[in-house]
Amino acid sequence: MTTLIGSGIERDRLVSSRQYCAGLTRREAKNFYYGLKLLPEPKRSAMYALYAYMRLVDDIADDDGPGHTRQQRLADLQAWRRQTAAVLGGDVDAIKRHPLWPAFADMAAQYHVPERLFDDMIDGQRQDLDPVVVRSFEQLHTYCYRVASVVGLASIYVWGFTGGKGTEELAIKRGIAFQLTNILRDLKEDAGRGRVYVPADELKAAGLTLEELLAWRVPEKCDAFIRGQLERAEKYYADSAELDERVSVDSRPTLNAMTAIYHGLLEKISADPRRITRHRVALSLPAKMLIGWRALRSRSAP
């Protein structure tokens, strides 16, 4: 496989970059980390680099602190896009500018991750710079693709897969399933930031306003609406089920663990839909560790 060693990037710099990405993932990842730990090397380090990239670009879009105006964040995202292109183009000086880049560039080169996916990721973050009101599921689908499905596509390039375009379509659907789960989990928090990802036309058809949903003012309507959103997410999990058998055997425990964690969140919401209006739903640490243990055991099962 192609690597950066021998291309102007010292081995020590690459090792240090991988350590930086691993540390960032361990510190910041919630649902990802327990799944990624199950990967063998060098895939594990490659996925840490991918996560670190996503985390850092996400931080640019979300940093609304002093001095970080919308225009400044927009400029920062554009600078990040140019930097990404330079790094992927093999610009050694660009690669040396931040501890992320050596490991990121090595990951992209080793596993031939399409550059367009990183452009799409940045487009998704760009979309979050403004208050969000999603008008329809068609619009939501595009958003979910940009912020989640592209991550799934990049991941299967690292993991290895069979089935070509058909498998890429399955990865897109699994990413949408994950993001629909996130949207329900984060409903209250996102609304507080002016981001409403439930389709406005469906909310209106249900005879509800966002304020009524958040206050759970008409329980029967609110419950029916959220259960409709849950059913859609469940369908995306079901429609992408074949993905599990199409990624490389050594990477299946990671995919299984990540899916179990996200689907576990969906099941927790389904048990009491109103809870999403009170707080952010999460799985406990023991529950995540149990999922990881079961996924690890599946790797050695006959």
In this model, does residue 287 exceed pLDDT 80?
no
Q: Which residues contact 239 (CB under 8 A, 6 or more apart)?
A: 170, 173
Average confidence (pLDDT) over 279-295: 76
* CB-based contacts of 164, cutoff 8 Å, min separation 6: none
Give the residue-averaged pLDDT of 255-272: 94
131-302 under CATH 1.10.600.10, yes or no? yes
- Whether the link from the prior residue into 273 is cis, omega within 30° of 0, is no
pLDDT given for residue 10 in this prediction = 80
| Cβ atoms of 117 and 144 closer than 8 Å | no
Instruction: Output the pTM of the full model.
Output: 0.91
- Residue-level pLDDT at 1: 36
Cβ(199)–Cβ(180) below 8 Å: no
**Cβ pair 243, 178 in contact under 8 A:** no
pLDDT band at 293 (very low <50, low <70, confident <90, very high): low
Q: What does the radius of gyration of the chain's CA atoms come to, in whole angstroms?
A: 20
The structure tokens listed for 79 are 């600078």
Q: 134 near 143, Cβ under 8 Å?
A: yes
Domain extents for the chain? 1-113, 131-302
